[in-house]
Each structure stands twice: as C-alpha cells, then as structure tokens.
Amino acid sequence: MSVTPANAPVWTHHDSDPEGSLLQAFATAEQSAWAQLTTEGRVRAFRNILASTAYVLEELSMQPPPVSTEAGPKRLLTNLSARRYPTAEHLRAATLIARGPMLVPDPGKHTVYSAVTTDGQPAALGRPSIEETGAIPPILVGGLAVVGIVAVGIAICYGAQLAAEVIDRKLLREAQTERMIATQARAVALVDTHAQRELQAGKTLPWSAEELRVLGALEDLQRQLAAQQGTPLPNPFPGAVGAVGQAVGKAVEGAASTFSLLPVALAVGGGLYLLSR
C-alpha cells in the first residue's frame, strides 16, 4: 500500500514540560543512564529524541523552523529531499540523523497508526494508516506533529507509538541499539547547535572536527546495527547519501520526484524548546 497525504500516519505529541524533559532526555542518553528512569520516563525521553531529530532535519536546511501561532501549528519537513540541503556536508549530516530512527524497530512488517501521545503515557492509536517494513511516522513535543510520507517520517511516528516494553528492551537490553541512540542524541545536539549558528550568521559554516567525528561514529554504529539485523542501510528520504564517499551530486540528481514528506507541526506556547535553548 503506497503512502499518500490521505492515508499518511500522524503522530501528535504533547509534553507537559517540553524544555525540562528534552534536557533530561539528552542528558540520559549521553550518560547511558536509562536504568535510572522509570519505564514511563524512558518512553518520554525516547519520544523527545525522535521529535528533536525531526526538528533538526528542518533546521539543517538553513530555513528557520516554523513555530506555533494563534492561527495554529505550522508544518515542518514538507518536501523533504536532498535538494533542501545547501552542501554535501549538510546532506550527509541530514542522512545520518534521519537514518537513526529507522534502525530502532525490529526488522519486519509493522502496522503504523496515527497516534496521540502525552509525556511517556501509552499512545492513543487511531486508524491504521499503512504497513511498512522497518519504517516509522509523525510527532509533537510540547506540541509537535510529524506526518509521515517519506521513510524517516514514517519511522519517527512508528517509534513514538512503540509499546513501553519494546522501548525498555531497546534501551536496557540491546546494547548496540542503545549505543546508536546515545550517539544519535549527541549528533542531534551538535547539529542543532551548528544549524543555529548558521541561521544567525546567514550562511553555511565549516563543520568542526568534533561534529564530523560524532557523525562518523553514528554512521559506524548504524552500519553495525544494520549488519546485525541483516538489513541494508535504509534510505530515509529521496536523494539521501548512501555512503560517506558517494557523490552527492549523483544523489541529488537521482532524487525521486514522486516522493514528498507530509508535515511536522509545532503547537504549544511558542513551539519546541530544543536542547539547551
């Protein structure tokens, strides 16, 4: 079944303390301190990392992410493809950041529902939208709504509705997945800071050695996890970079025009409070 705007899943997430819970999520991931949280706390933190991933993918395109207004939430991640990123380095960073959520689910076919979540409470599932193999859909942090048409959008939505026991298993008993999620969080934090500096400067800026090191570590862990699962590295959006050495020009040229990404929207008091901001 193909994904269209009519049947795409939507994840709407509300967090009662968006700034505090985001800071806790990233601190927990960095310290690998998942066991110190309750099951509900782990679910909440994991959802915040997913939401931040979607938000940073928007920032990295050098366009300020929309925020909520009285007229309602603005949409993020529309038309997500390689063409949105200004340089080869930005495209590679976006590819790696987007790929992370797609490697969390167990391999196999999964039914993806539209869902509403609050903090770390169980997801309220709506209509089944699509069935996908190893993919995920939409989100809302404090409120943010992600809709999934391209693979990364579907993957994020699916990750947000995973049962608590599955998230516990991933974070507490699957060491390779936990390491990848920890490095994902670190990469998202660094890329967020980089994107903010570029938005303030009004131009692209060189990537630091530390940023490149963390992105390289994330790619290594993604490759290891994909090999462990016996699956190829997933393609998160049209034109994503397949490998470090791949010619980005070829990736952009080959971007499929038949793909588009449904929205992500921010909907609570000024929008998503990301990381330390």
Amino acid at 181: I
Q: Minimal CA–CA distance to 52: which of 212, 232, 272, 226?
A: 272
In a domain, residue 5? The reply is no
**Residues 256, 273: Cα–Cα separation, whole Å:** 33
Average pLDDT along the chain, 277 residues, taken 10 residues at a time:
58 86 94 96 95 88 61 54 91 95 86 86 74 38 48 84 93 94 96 92 95 97 93 86 44 26 26 30
Quote the number of domains for the chain: 1
Domain that holds residue 93: 10-266
Which sign, positive or negative, has the C-alpha torsion 109, 257, 74, 29? positive
The per-residue pLDDT for 127 is: 60
Phi-psi group of 31: left, alpha or beta (phi > 0 → left; psi -120 to 50 → alpha; rest → beta)? alpha
The per-residue pLDDT for 64 is: 61
Q: Minimal CA–CA distance to 112: which of 75, 79, 159, 50?
A: 159
The per-residue pLDDT for 205 is: 96
In a domain, residue 63? The reply is yes
Q: What is the DSSP letter of 274?
A: -
In a domain, residue 229? The reply is yes
